[in-house]
Amino acid sequence: MYQAVLSLTTDAKHSPETVSSSNTLEEIAVALKTGDSKALEALVSKTEKACFHLAYSLLRDRELSRDALQDAYLIVFQRAGQLREPKALKSWLFRIVTHCCHDIRKKRGFELEADVEEKEEAARPPVGVKPEADPARRVADQNRLRQVFGQLPEIDRTALALREICSMSYEEMSRTLGVPLGTVRSRLAKARKRFISVYKGEKS
């Protein structure tokens, strides 16, 4: 995917030092600030899976999720110089992915499908259940969890996706969403409560 992004950047550079996915995100962030295309490649390699899971959880469409990621990585590459703290790269990236997903929804008037059984296999469920011995039962449980997730309000899906899919800390979520730590905790608590209510078939 990063090749398509780099094709849109005319000033891509290559650092004399090798930057790869084995580098820390903080090291990659420093390299990105110099306009190093290898740093972008390393960032994509290190974060693409988690970012795709986040995008898919919000858009429920593979192609639109890929579009969102391409937009997000291009923005990161072009605005890397604006990142003041290299250690905040992950939360900054997830914030941009989230915004790109919201922009796609607005531009396309996109409505999420409630019945995600018709969709292809996507990210793991945001809330797990105890594994069953019967594989068929496990699949049914996973499908049910994805159905419930798709029925939640966007604010709930975003909070659960950042926490359960991207494994972000409360502090990282606070930076990503641009809200106080207390608001993060409140949103998660409400999202989990609504998830359980929908899962049990209760009226919210």
> What is the C-alpha separation between 30 and 23, in angstroms, rounded?
11
2 and 74, same domain (yes or no): yes
pLDDT in tens, 178-189: 899 999 999 999
| Average pLDDT of the residues in 56-81 | 91
pLDDT of residue 29: 93
pLDDT of residue 79: 92
**Domain-ending residue, one of 76, 111, 146:** 111
118 and 179, same domain (yes or no): yes
pLDDT of residue 169: 86
The closest alpha carbon to 41, from 86, 93, 2, belongs to 2
The closest alpha carbon to 93, from 61, 68, 124, belongs to 68
What angle, rounded to 10 degrees, do the helices at 25-32 and 89-108 form?
70
Domain housing 39? 1-111
Q: What is the CATH number of the domain that holds 12?
A: 1.10.1740.10
**Domain-ending residue, one of 83, 111, 139:** 111
5 and 104, same domain (yes or no): yes
* HSE-up of residue 167 (Cα within 13 Å, Cβ side): 5
124 and 91, same domain (yes or no): no
104 and 170, same domain (yes or no): no
90 and 29, same domain (yes or no): yes
93 and 7, same domain (yes or no): yes
pLDDT in tens, 154-169: 889 889 888 888 888 8
**Domain-ending residue, one of 92, 111, 130:** 111
| Average pLDDT of the residues in 126-155 | 68
Q: Quote the tokens at residue 59.
A: 């858009």
Asked whether the whole model's pTM tops 0.75, one would answer no
> What is the C-alpha separation between 61 and 191, in angstroms, rounded?
22
pLDDT in tens, 76-101: 999 999 988 998 999 999 999 999 99
What amino acid occupies position 39? A
Q: Where do we find the tokens 């890397």? A: 80
100 and 174, same domain (yes or no): no
Per the structure, the count of domains in the chain is 2
6 and 82, same domain (yes or no): yes
